Structure 1
């Protein structure tokens, strides 16, 4: 199975980044921790912009990202997060050519 990756950049409204993180923890963190298809997941704050969150995930095939959006809690997560964002999120789908420690 081929590995896929997804880069996501969220720009929160000024001073709302921590609230966005709490919503992510409320809905997504436990799911991601237990998702077999999620091989790696990084969720972090941009050091150069106090309102930006970056998430990067590596998963087996196309299903990993699609499974996330099919969860019963996803519409609530999306609605609550969108209310705190300053602009639409950026999504970039990536086909890894090499991943340290694995066969891509």
Structure 2
């Protein structure tokens, strides 16, 4: 059975953080410490992109595609997410921007 997302299935969450000046590397290190393995081990994540903004040295955006909306909500309770959130908060300029999207077309993988 393919784990490749189909258009109209699942939910995509886009989270953008602005760090305090010159703190992006520290936030990234916390993400790698807490989140990378949690995402890899989470069957609810069908795709995940952790991105550093090329034009803003203090901006991070994560694109996350989940099987279901419930999977997205459940992951927010994961201990690794909670710890990352706690440790990263003092390094952020404010609350993240969060958008929830429904994919309508997805390029098939090869």
Q: What TM-score, normalized by structure 1, do the two folds share? A: 0.90
Range that drifts further, 75-84 or 48-57:
75-84
Residue ranges of structure 2 left out of the alignment (5+ in a row)? 1-7
1:98 maps to which residue? 105
Spell out structure 1 runs of 4+ moving beyond 3 A.
Answer: none
1:46 maps to which residue? 53
Displacement of 1:14? 0.4
SS of the aligned residue for 1:54 comes to strand
Q: What TM-score, normalized by structure 2, do the two folds share? A: 0.85
Q: How many residues get paired?
A: 102
| CA-atom RMSD in angstroms | 1.5
Residue ranges of structure 1 left out of the alignment (5+ in a row)? none
Q: Deviations over 1:52-104 (max 9, x none)?
A: 001001111112321221112333211111110012110000011111117xx
Tell me how far apart the structure 2 counterparts of residues 90 and 15 of structure 1 sit (CA, whole Å).
19
Q: Deviations over 1:6-61 (max 9, x none)?
A: 00100000000010011111111101012111111000100010000010011111
Q: 1:39 to 1:91 in 2, by over 3 A?
A: same
